[in-house]
Chain A
Amino acid sequence: MKRFLLMTVSFCVIVVAGFLLLLSRADGHTDAFYLRFTTPRQPHLIVGTSRAGQGLRPAVLREELGIDLFNYGFTLGQSPYGAAYFESIRRKLDPATRNGVFIVTVDPWCLASTRNVGEDTTRFRELSNIVGTTRWVNVSPNLEYLVENLTGRYYTVLERGDGELYLHADGWLEVTVPMDTATVLGRRARRLATYRDDYIPIYIRSEVREMALQRTIQLLKAHGHVYMVRLPVDTAMYALEQAHFPAFDGTMERIARQTDGYWDMSPLNAEFRYNDGNHLNKEAAREVSHRVGQWIHQQEQERR
């Protein structure tokens, strides 16, 4: 029996080690989120939803600001402002940071809850998603994420994917899709229909999430300067948001007093191209990142 146990345990250890070694090959092709949980704690962060995740490019911001920001924006279902995202940001933040730069992106959806959930924080949608369930956010390879949250089979870590999505090491999600007019118009129409027909009827403003946003700002303020940004979106999408969340602008103006600056970029909506009416395409993201970087630089200059 002892020999059997020894041989079996040895075999299992070798197999599991080999398996974990292969899993550690997971990279930016693996999925749209994994790499964000593998970098060390960060001194400078970008937070928000997929509009930030795709719309702000740390490499471009570095050209303007000379610092390495880390994009920690996920999706509307995973990183709306709330206790779960707050905790995840807290774990990602380098507590030794004193002069950090933090870009907090906002839009009405990341401060909204569904009607059936309301302000019941125990039923917030992100609790059962990766931001809510991944405890270890700074380890590479992140076996907790790979074992618990990787969708599909584990062999996908060895695949290079179809090239449509690639997550950079700085957290920026590069999306490469056809940008011909017909295709873009089709995606835009579908996206707008989803928001208009599926989301508008069920999403309502959440004061609990607004408080969570403020709490997040306070957390980040203790480690540096916080800049709030409302990123550009398609004009039709913007019109939907403004009509459904009329109090949003006033709320943001109020909360922005706690930050080191707030830039509502919605007057520039028509200047940029979008993959689907909701997310800046990668070239537009370069330009927006460039402008946000310049704006932050200007804020810093004025502060001095």
Chain B
Amino acid sequence: MLFNSLDFAIFLPIVFLLYWALADRGLRTQNLLLLAASYYFYACWDWRFLFLLLFSTLLDYVSGLRIASARTAWTKRAWFWTSIGVNLGFLGLFKYYDFFIVSFIEMLSVVGIRAHAPTLGIILPVGISFYTFHGLSYVIDVYKDRIRPERGLVDYALFVSFFPLLVAGPIERATHLLPQLKRARTFDPVKAVDGLRQILWGLFKKIVIADQCAKVVDVLFDQYEIHGGASLFLGALFFAFQIYGDFSGYSDIAIGTARLFGVELLRNFAYPYFSRDIAEFWRRWHISLSSWFRDYLYIPLGGSKGTLWSRVRNTFIVFLVSGLWHGANWTFVVWGALNAIYFLPLLLTDRNRTNLDTVAQGRTLPSMRELLAMGGTFGLTLIAWVFFRADNVRHATGYLARMFSNPASYFDHARYAPHLLLLTGIAVLLVAEWRAREQRHALEAFGLRWARPVRWSFYGALAVTVLLFSGGEETFIYFQF
């Protein structure tokens, strides 16, 4: 079920009430309830893939125990690589088999060899990329002796399947989430209210911004050949906010929902479009994924240590794999490569960690330099997003070529008029998030000094706006990953 659906609006209060009503019965009962609710949540998508989730959970649970209890290094490695292999095998089968087969055949045809191999046409299980990475991080951490294996099956299963993060993250770490699931949780009304505010803001970003941008983006990307540069620039701009609103909105809803149950999830977005360079962007965008790749791929490869060649190689590997993680299409590979190209100069000149603070910290407005830096970084990501959205590489290059043609059209105000309302919505989003850039979400401290009736009126108006923009459900983009 979608977060922005009537089904979820009924599901969540029921689970919430039952959860806290069972607090007196102990932690295990609460966790069992959450686990059952999480499996029900997942089964609503497709009950058949629940078995895959259960299998992956059991495999990693058993692997963790066997790795920790292994008497020989060989046994330890065997269990480790079995878990890694099976998990990545399933991910590869469901997500990448058809892509690689088709690409291989196309490559053969370029050299004049005609081949035919059956594609499987398998449905992609929702959330497989996310829960697979949950399990992988756990097994790797156990193997590396960073954590002790979890003996409670219910607790471990809940770590993998906790419904707020099950289908689109954040990608949690066992070291962060498991201890919370093993601790008694008490109801904190302040956190719960803030969780509700975060849910409201997430719904605003998803329904009012992302879904409205999607309508324009679909038309412009599908018919880019007949639109001019300014219109296509708007299409790219709207997609940048569609994917941000969609994904960060989902994360806000997930984090806010978890807080209702006394669980704190990892932060996933930290206002990435206010980044002053691409390195800062990747510290603020999909933080749980980029940190996962940093800790489990980049650093084991050697990270930024070693020769120039190894640093370049490691950077490209991480970004290309990250691109491929997003989808089985060469456009994602190109997107990853572009980001690697953007990142490398900063890495090689040791300027990848220069903007660690919040932009314009303690000030109301950015300096001109900061503004230009943010604009430049946003522009680079905008170009890369075109590849992310396009159907194929040719589509993306054609789109970009037309986008940069006819620069005079950019000054034609008539092109922007039909999209004035949407541009206003994006401006509201940017202003709200700029004001809150030192907080976790835009509504965390918004209006707290106002009188309650005024504050409630604002929240109420925002909620009614979200409801008015609802209808005609659109899925979250990251569900396809």
Q: Does B bind A?
A: yes
**In whole angstroms, what is the CA distance A3 to B460 when docked?**
18
Interface of A is mostly: helix
Complex contacts, B20 vs chain A, CB 8 Å: 1
A141 to chain B, nearest CB (A): 15
CB of A8 within 8 A of chain B?
Answer: yes
Residue of B whose beta carbon sits closest to that of A19: B467
**In whole angstroms, what is the CA distance A11 to B20 when docked?**
20
Contact B468 A15, beta carbon cutoff 8 Å: no
In the complex, which range does the number of interface residues on chain B fall in?
10 to 19
Contact A154 B469, beta carbon cutoff 8 Å: yes
Contact A15 B464, beta carbon cutoff 8 Å: yes
B27 to chain A, nearest CB (A): 18
Known A14-B460, A15-B464, A18-B464: A4·B469 in contact at CB below 8 Å? no
Contact of B469 among A1, A11, A18, A155 (CB under 8 A): A155
CB of A169 within 8 A of chain B?
Answer: no
Contact B189 A11, beta carbon cutoff 8 Å: no
Contact of B472 among A4, A16, A153 (CB under 8 A): A153
Contact A153 B193, beta carbon cutoff 8 Å: no
**In whole angstroms, what is the CA distance A147 to B470 when docked?**
10
Complex contacts, A151 vs chain B, CB 8 Å: 471-472
Contact A154 B467, beta carbon cutoff 8 Å: yes
A159 to chain B, nearest CB (A): 11
Contact B470 A154, beta carbon cutoff 8 Å: yes
Contact B472 A1, beta carbon cutoff 8 Å: no
Residue of A whose beta carbon sits closest to that of B187: A1
Interface of B is mostly: helix
**In whole angstroms, what is the CA distance A18 to B469 when docked?**
14
Complex contacts, B467 vs chain A, CB 8 Å: 15-16, 19, 154
Contact B468 A153, beta carbon cutoff 8 Å: yes
Contact A22 B468, beta carbon cutoff 8 Å: yes
Complex contacts, A154 vs chain B, CB 8 Å: 467-471
Complex contacts, B468 vs chain A, CB 8 Å: 19, 22, 153-155, 158
CB of B463 within 8 A of chain A?
Answer: yes
Complex contacts, A150 vs chain B, CB 8 Å: 471
B387 to chain A, nearest CB (A): 29
B193 to chain A, nearest CB (A): 7
Interface string of B437-481 (1 = CB under 8 A from A): 000000000000000000010011001100111111000000000
Known A14-B460, A15-B460, A18-B464: A4·B192 in contact at CB below 8 Å? yes
Contact A153 B471, beta carbon cutoff 8 Å: yes
Contact A11 B472, beta carbon cutoff 8 Å: no
**In whole angstroms, what is the CA distance A153 to B472 when docked?**
6
B318 to chain A, nearest CB (A): 40
CB of B196 within 8 A of chain A?
Answer: yes
Complex contacts, A15 vs chain B, CB 8 Å: 460, 463-464, 467
Tell me the B317-362 residues at the A interface (CB within 8 Å): none
Residue of A whose beta carbon sits closest to that of B456: A11
Contact B196 A8, beta carbon cutoff 8 Å: yes
Complex contacts, B459 vs chain A, CB 8 Å: 11
Tell me the A1-17 residues at the B interface (CB within 8 Å): 1, 3-4, 7-8, 11, 14-16
**In whole angstroms, what is the CA distance A150 to B472 when docked?**
8
Complex contacts, A16 vs chain B, CB 8 Å: 467
CB of A178 within 8 A of chain B?
Answer: no
**In whole angstroms, what is the CA distance A18 to B193 when docked?**
21
Complex contacts, A8 vs chain B, CB 8 Å: 196
Known A11-B459, A152-B472, A153-B471: A4·B464 in contact at CB below 8 Å? no
Interface string of A140-168 (1 = CB under 8 A from B): 00000001001111110010000000000
**In whole angstroms, what is the CA distance A22 to B459 when docked?**
17
Tell me the A251-269 residues at the B interface (CB within 8 Å): none
**In whole angstroms, what is the CA distance A18 to B468 when docked?**
10
**In whole angstroms, what is the CA distance A141 to B35 when docked?**
40
Residue of A whose beta carbon sits closest to that of B196: A8
Tell me the B59-82 residues at the A interface (CB within 8 Å): none
Residue of A whose beta carbon sits closest to that of B462: A15
A135 to chain B, nearest CB (A): 17
Known A1-B20, A4-B192, A11-B459: A22·B464 in contact at CB below 8 Å? yes
Contact A4 B460, beta carbon cutoff 8 Å: no
- Of the A-B pairs whose beta carbons lie under 8 Å apart in the complex, a sample of 16, sorted by A's number, is A4-B189, A4-B192, A7-B193, A11-B459, A11-B463, A15-B463, A15-B467, A18-B460, A22-B464, A22-B468, A151-B471, A152-B471, A152-B472, A153-B469, A153-B472, A154-B468
Chain A contacts to B: CB under 8 angstroms: 1, 3-4, 7-8, 11, 14-16, 18-19, 22, 147, 150-155, 158
Q: A1-B187, A11-B460, A18-B464 are in contact. List 20 more A-B contacts (CB 8 A).
A: A4-B189, A4-B192, A4-B193, A11-B459, A11-B463, A14-B460, A15-B463, A15-B467, A19-B468, A150-B471, A151-B471, A151-B472, A153-B469, A153-B470, A153-B471, A154-B467, A154-B468, A154-B471, A155-B468, A158-B468
